[in-house]
Amino acid sequence: MTPQVIPAISMLWLVGVCGAARPTQLKPYNAECSILFPVSETKNCRPVKYYYNSKTGLCGPTCSQDAPFSTRKECALTCRSTLACFIRRQHQRCRGRPRVVVFRFDVYKGKCYAKKSCSYKGNNFPTLKECMSTCGADHRCYIVPNEISATSCKYRRWFYLRSSMRCAHTCSKTAPFRSKRSCNGHCRSMDVCTDERGLWYCSSPAVRVYVFYPIELRCREDSSCTYYGNNFPDKDECQRTCNKTIDAERNQ
Protein backbone atom coordinates (compact mmCIF):
# COMPACT_ATOMS: atom_id res chain seq x y z
CA MET A 1 0.00 0.00 0.00
CA THR A 2 2.77 2.47 0.91
CA PRO A 3 4.43 2.67 -2.55
CA GLN A 4 1.04 3.55 -4.07
CA VAL A 5 0.13 6.22 -1.48
CA ILE A 6 3.40 8.20 -1.61
CA PRO A 7 3.26 8.94 -5.37
CA ALA A 8 -0.37 9.99 -4.97
CA ILE A 9 0.51 12.38 -2.14
CA SER A 10 3.46 13.72 -4.12
CA MET A 11 1.22 14.37 -7.13
CA LEU A 12 -1.34 16.23 -4.98
CA TRP A 13 1.45 18.33 -3.43
CA LEU A 14 2.80 19.20 -6.90
CA VAL A 15 -0.65 20.22 -8.15
CA GLY A 16 -1.21 22.33 -5.03
CA VAL A 17 2.11 24.15 -5.39
CA CYS A 18 1.58 24.82 -9.11
CA GLY A 19 -1.94 26.06 -8.47
CA ALA A 20 -0.77 28.35 -5.66
CA ALA A 21 2.07 29.72 -7.76
CA ARG A 22 -0.29 30.83 -10.55
CA PRO A 23 -1.64 34.31 -9.67
CA THR A 24 -5.41 34.63 -9.45
CA GLN A 25 -6.88 37.08 -11.94
CA LEU A 26 -8.57 39.99 -10.19
CA LYS A 27 -12.18 40.65 -11.09
CA PRO A 28 -13.20 44.31 -10.80
CA TYR A 29 -16.96 43.71 -10.62
CA ASN A 30 -18.87 41.52 -8.17
CA ALA A 31 -22.13 39.89 -9.28
CA GLU A 32 -23.61 40.51 -5.81
CA CYS A 33 -23.55 44.24 -6.51
CA SER A 34 -26.06 43.94 -9.36
CA ILE A 35 -28.86 42.30 -7.35
CA LEU A 36 -31.72 44.69 -6.55
CA PHE A 37 -34.16 44.37 -3.67
CA PRO A 38 -37.40 46.23 -2.94
CA VAL A 39 -37.13 49.24 -0.62
CA SER A 40 -38.61 48.27 2.75
CA GLU A 41 -39.14 49.79 6.18
CA THR A 42 -36.42 48.28 8.36
CA LYS A 43 -37.53 49.46 11.80
CA ASN A 44 -39.45 46.26 12.52
CA CYS A 45 -37.13 43.66 11.00
CA ARG A 46 -34.05 42.00 12.42
CA PRO A 47 -31.48 41.46 11.22
CA VAL A 48 -31.25 44.22 8.62
CA LYS A 49 -29.34 43.30 5.47
CA TYR A 50 -27.86 45.54 2.75
CA TYR A 51 -27.70 45.68 -1.04
CA TYR A 52 -26.07 48.00 -3.58
CA ASN A 53 -28.23 50.35 -5.64
CA SER A 54 -26.35 51.23 -8.84
CA LYS A 55 -28.76 54.08 -9.61
CA THR A 56 -27.91 56.01 -6.44
CA GLY A 57 -24.37 54.67 -5.98
CA LEU A 58 -25.22 53.84 -2.35
CA CYS A 59 -25.93 50.77 -0.22
CA GLY A 60 -29.47 50.52 1.11
CA PRO A 61 -31.04 48.51 3.95
CA THR A 62 -33.68 45.87 3.40
CA CYS A 63 -35.64 43.31 5.40
CA SER A 64 -34.98 40.67 2.76
CA GLN A 65 -32.66 38.02 4.15
CA ASP A 66 -31.59 37.20 0.59
CA ALA A 67 -29.62 40.45 0.38
CA PRO A 68 -25.89 39.66 0.09
CA PHE A 69 -24.37 41.98 2.71
CA SER A 70 -24.61 41.94 6.51
CA THR A 71 -23.31 45.49 7.05
CA ARG A 72 -23.37 48.77 5.13
CA LYS A 73 -19.56 48.96 5.27
CA GLU A 74 -19.16 45.48 3.74
CA CYS A 75 -21.49 46.51 0.92
CA ALA A 76 -19.72 49.86 0.39
CA LEU A 77 -16.27 48.24 0.16
CA THR A 78 -17.31 45.38 -2.10
CA CYS A 79 -19.36 47.47 -4.53
CA ARG A 80 -17.34 50.69 -4.23
CA SER A 81 -20.25 52.91 -3.24
CA THR A 82 -19.78 56.65 -2.66
CA LEU A 83 -19.06 55.86 1.00
CA ALA A 84 -15.95 53.92 -0.07
CA CYS A 85 -14.31 57.19 -1.16
CA PHE A 86 -14.16 58.33 2.46
CA ILE A 87 -13.65 55.15 4.50
CA ARG A 88 -10.15 55.05 6.01
CA ARG A 89 -8.06 52.49 4.15
CA GLN A 90 -6.62 49.54 6.05
CA HIS A 91 -3.09 48.24 5.42
CA GLN A 92 -3.30 45.55 2.77
CA ARG A 93 -1.30 42.34 2.59
CA CYS A 94 -1.22 40.86 -0.90
CA ARG A 95 0.51 37.54 -0.09
CA GLY A 96 1.25 36.55 -3.68
CA ARG A 97 -1.83 38.07 -5.26
CA PRO A 98 -1.13 40.09 -8.43
CA ARG A 99 -0.85 43.86 -8.11
CA VAL A 100 -2.71 45.95 -10.68
CA VAL A 101 -3.18 49.65 -11.39
CA VAL A 102 -6.17 51.13 -9.52
CA PHE A 103 -7.44 54.66 -9.04
CA ARG A 104 -7.76 55.99 -5.50
CA PHE A 105 -9.62 59.11 -4.38
CA ASP A 106 -7.66 61.49 -2.13
CA VAL A 107 -10.21 63.28 0.09
CA TYR A 108 -7.78 66.09 0.97
CA LYS A 109 -6.86 66.91 -2.62
CA GLY A 110 -10.23 65.98 -4.14
CA LYS A 111 -8.52 64.05 -6.92
CA CYS A 112 -8.17 60.45 -8.15
CA TYR A 113 -4.61 59.10 -8.34
CA ALA A 114 -3.23 55.96 -10.01
CA LYS A 115 -1.82 53.48 -7.49
CA LYS A 116 -0.98 49.77 -7.26
CA SER A 117 -3.14 47.33 -5.34
CA CYS A 118 -4.04 43.65 -5.24
CA SER A 119 -7.73 44.38 -4.65
CA TYR A 120 -10.58 46.30 -6.25
CA LYS A 121 -12.37 46.65 -2.92
CA GLY A 122 -13.18 50.00 -1.36
CA ASN A 123 -11.22 53.01 -2.55
CA ASN A 124 -9.51 51.00 -5.31
CA PHE A 125 -11.38 51.80 -8.53
CA PRO A 126 -10.58 49.89 -11.74
CA THR A 127 -10.92 52.99 -13.95
CA LEU A 128 -10.32 56.72 -13.56
CA LYS A 129 -13.83 57.42 -14.87
CA GLU A 130 -15.48 55.31 -12.14
CA CYS A 131 -13.34 56.91 -9.43
CA MET A 132 -14.22 60.43 -10.55
CA SER A 133 -17.93 59.79 -11.09
CA THR A 134 -18.33 57.92 -7.78
CA CYS A 135 -16.42 60.40 -5.65
CA GLY A 136 -17.70 63.61 -7.23
CA ALA A 137 -14.46 64.81 -8.85
CA ASP A 138 -14.50 66.81 -12.09
CA HIS A 139 -11.30 66.57 -14.16
CA ARG A 140 -11.70 70.17 -15.38
CA CYS A 141 -11.02 71.38 -11.85
CA TYR A 142 -7.39 70.22 -12.18
CA ILE A 143 -6.60 72.02 -15.42
CA VAL A 144 -4.35 75.06 -14.93
CA PRO A 145 -3.58 77.04 -18.13
CA ASN A 146 0.03 77.70 -19.10
CA GLU A 147 -0.63 81.43 -19.32
CA ILE A 148 -2.65 83.01 -16.54
CA SER A 149 -2.50 86.61 -17.70
CA ALA A 150 -5.87 88.30 -17.26
CA THR A 151 -5.17 91.73 -18.76
CA SER A 152 -6.28 93.14 -22.11
CA CYS A 153 -8.18 90.08 -23.31
CA LYS A 154 -11.35 90.09 -25.39
CA TYR A 155 -12.82 86.92 -23.84
CA ARG A 156 -12.27 85.75 -20.30
CA ARG A 157 -12.15 82.13 -19.30
CA TRP A 158 -11.99 80.61 -15.84
CA PHE A 159 -10.05 77.90 -13.99
CA TYR A 160 -9.97 76.58 -10.43
CA LEU A 161 -7.05 77.37 -8.10
CA ARG A 162 -6.83 74.64 -5.46
CA SER A 163 -4.43 76.67 -3.32
CA SER A 164 -7.04 79.39 -2.71
CA MET A 165 -10.15 77.24 -3.34
CA ARG A 166 -11.40 79.97 -5.70
CA CYS A 167 -11.93 80.35 -9.44
CA ALA A 168 -9.66 82.78 -11.31
CA HIS A 169 -9.98 84.34 -14.75
CA THR A 170 -7.46 84.35 -17.58
CA CYS A 171 -7.09 85.26 -21.26
CA SER A 172 -5.92 81.73 -22.07
CA LYS A 173 -8.30 79.66 -24.19
CA THR A 174 -7.00 76.51 -22.51
CA ALA A 175 -8.88 77.37 -19.30
CA PRO A 176 -11.79 74.90 -19.04
CA PHE A 177 -14.71 77.12 -17.97
CA ARG A 178 -16.51 79.86 -19.88
CA SER A 179 -18.00 81.47 -16.77
CA LYS A 180 -17.12 81.95 -13.12
CA ARG A 181 -20.46 80.52 -12.08
CA SER A 182 -19.81 77.27 -13.95
CA CYS A 183 -16.32 77.00 -12.44
CA ASN A 184 -17.61 77.67 -8.91
CA GLY A 185 -20.38 75.13 -9.27
CA HIS A 186 -18.47 72.24 -10.83
CA CYS A 187 -15.38 72.65 -8.63
CA ARG A 188 -17.31 73.58 -5.46
CA SER A 189 -15.14 76.62 -4.73
CA MET A 190 -15.44 78.39 -1.38
CA ASP A 191 -17.73 80.96 -3.05
CA VAL A 192 -20.57 78.42 -3.16
CA CYS A 193 -20.61 78.35 0.66
CA THR A 194 -22.49 81.68 0.72
CA ASP A 195 -24.43 81.27 -2.53
CA GLU A 196 -28.13 80.58 -2.40
CA ARG A 197 -28.70 76.90 -3.10
CA GLY A 198 -30.55 76.49 -6.38
CA LEU A 199 -33.47 74.19 -7.12
CA TRP A 200 -32.75 71.14 -9.28
CA TYR A 201 -35.19 69.25 -11.46
CA CYS A 202 -33.83 65.75 -11.18
CA SER A 203 -34.12 62.95 -13.68
CA SER A 204 -31.83 60.75 -11.58
CA PRO A 205 -32.36 59.50 -7.99
CA ALA A 206 -31.23 61.68 -5.10
CA VAL A 207 -28.07 60.85 -3.15
CA ARG A 208 -26.75 62.00 0.21
CA VAL A 209 -24.92 65.35 0.15
CA TYR A 210 -23.69 67.87 2.71
CA VAL A 211 -24.83 71.48 2.47
CA PHE A 212 -23.22 74.48 4.17
CA TYR A 213 -25.71 76.75 5.96
CA PRO A 214 -24.09 80.19 6.43
CA ILE A 215 -26.60 81.29 9.09
CA GLU A 216 -25.76 78.25 11.24
CA LEU A 217 -22.09 78.18 10.13
CA ARG A 218 -22.14 74.42 9.75
CA CYS A 219 -22.52 71.62 7.22
CA ARG A 220 -25.67 69.53 7.41
CA GLU A 221 -26.71 66.31 5.71
CA ASP A 222 -29.25 66.67 2.90
CA SER A 223 -30.12 65.03 -0.41
CA SER A 224 -29.67 66.04 -4.02
CA CYS A 225 -29.26 64.53 -7.48
CA THR A 226 -26.06 66.51 -8.11
CA TYR A 227 -22.70 67.40 -6.56
CA TYR A 228 -22.86 70.83 -8.21
CA GLY A 229 -22.33 73.95 -6.09
CA ASN A 230 -23.28 73.77 -2.42
CA ASN A 231 -23.87 70.01 -2.62
CA PHE A 232 -20.73 68.40 -1.24
CA PRO A 233 -20.23 64.61 -1.51
CA ASP A 234 -18.87 64.36 2.06
CA LYS A 235 -18.85 66.40 5.26
CA ASP A 236 -15.05 66.77 5.38
CA GLU A 237 -14.91 68.51 2.00
CA CYS A 238 -17.81 70.77 2.99
CA GLN A 239 -16.06 71.82 6.20
CA ARG A 240 -12.61 72.26 4.59
CA THR A 241 -14.02 74.39 1.77
CA CYS A 242 -16.19 76.57 3.98
CA ASN A 243 -13.77 76.93 6.92
CA LYS A 244 -12.60 80.38 5.77
CA THR A 245 -16.20 81.53 5.62
CA ILE A 246 -16.75 80.27 9.17
CA ASP A 247 -13.57 81.98 10.45
CA ALA A 248 -14.44 85.29 8.74
CA GLU A 249 -17.92 85.34 10.25
CA ARG A 250 -16.67 84.51 13.75
CA ASN A 251 -13.99 87.21 13.64
CA GLN A 252 -16.46 89.96 12.81
Same domain, 67 and 111: no
Q: Is 144 helix (H, G, I), strand (E, B) or coil?
A: coil
Same domain, 192 and 220: yes
Same domain, 69 and 108: no
Same domain, 198 and 247: yes
Same domain, 126 and 145: no
Residue 67 confidence class, pLDDT cut points 50, 70, 90:
very high
pLDDT in tens, 6-15: 333 333 333 3
Residues 6 or more apart in contact with residue 73 via CB below 8 angstroms: 83, 87
Residue 8 within a domain:
no
Give CA separation, 244 vs 137, 163, 194, 233, in Å: 21, 13, 11, 19
Check residues 217 and 132 and name the one with the higher pLDDT: 217
What per-residue confidence (pLDDT) applies to 53? 86
Residues 6 or more apart in contact with residue 13 via CB below 8 angstroms: none
Same domain, 239 and 192: yes
CATH number at residue 201: 4.10.410.10
Encode 28-70 in three state secondary structure: CCCHHHHCCCCCCCCCCCCCCEEEEECCCCEEEEECCCCCCEC
What per-residue confidence (pLDDT) applies to 212? 95
Same domain, 215 and 247: yes
Same domain, 173 and 192: no
Residue 155 within a domain:
yes
Residue 145 within a domain:
yes
Same domain, 147 and 199: no
Instruction: Tell me how far apart the alpha carbons of residues 156 and 171 are, in angstroms, rounded to a whole number.
Output: 5
Q: Name the amino acid, one letter, at 23.
A: P
- State in Å, rounded, how far the first CA of the chain is from the last one: 92
CATH number at residue 66: 4.10.410
Same domain, 208 and 234: yes
Residue 148 within a domain:
yes
Average pLDDT value for residue range 14-38: 66
Q: Is 93 helix (H, G, I), strand (E, B) or coil?
A: coil
Residue 56 within a domain:
yes
Average pLDDT value for residue range 167-173: 90
Expressed as residue numbers, the domain containing 108 is 97-136
Same domain, 192 and 242: yes
Residue 36 confidence class, pLDDT cut points 50, 70, 90:
confident
Domain count, the chain: 4
Residue 31 confidence class, pLDDT cut points 50, 70, 90:
very high
> Residue 211 carries which DSSP code?
E
Residue 131 within a domain:
yes
Residue 231 within a domain:
yes
pLDDT at 159 over 80: yes
Residue 20 within a domain:
no
Question: Out of 46-50, 191-195, 223-227, which region has the weakest mean confidence (pLDDT)?
Answer: 223-227
